[in-house]
Amino acid sequence: MPDTPALPRLTTTGRNLLTRAATETIRIYRDPARPGSGVSRPALDRLMRDGLLTMGAYEPMAGRPLQVTDLGRAALTAGGAR
């Protein structure tokens, strides 16, 4: 049986952001210091670093949409906030 890598653990803030991104379109600003839309920069950075979220292409006057990856969906399904 092959070893399956452990899913990244989620903080409560990270889980909330990931859940929001999975259920609604969240668009963030280009300014890395202030993503906007009620998004926590540290949580966003960690979710992106762990491969749970990506950013879509920039759209003028709309920002960049957050997109949940397959790994992010698996982490949400598995549960387990830290």
Which residues, other chains included, contact 14 with Cβ-Cβ below 8 Å and sequence gap of 6+? 43, 46, 47, 52
Asked if residue 6 is part of any domain, the answer here is no
Asked if residue 7 is part of any domain, the answer here is no
User: Which pLDDT band holds residue 1 (cuts at 50, 70, 90)?
Assistant: very low
Give the domain range for residue 69.
12-78
Distance separating alpha carbons of residues 69 and 42, to the nearest angstrom: 18
User: Which pLDDT band holds residue 22 (cuts at 50, 70, 90)?
Assistant: very high
Asked if residue 52 is part of any domain, the answer here is yes
Could you tell me the CATH number of the domain that includes residue 39? 1.10.10
pTM to 2 decimals? 0.82
Q: How many of the other CB atoms lie within 10 Å of CB of 39?
A: 19
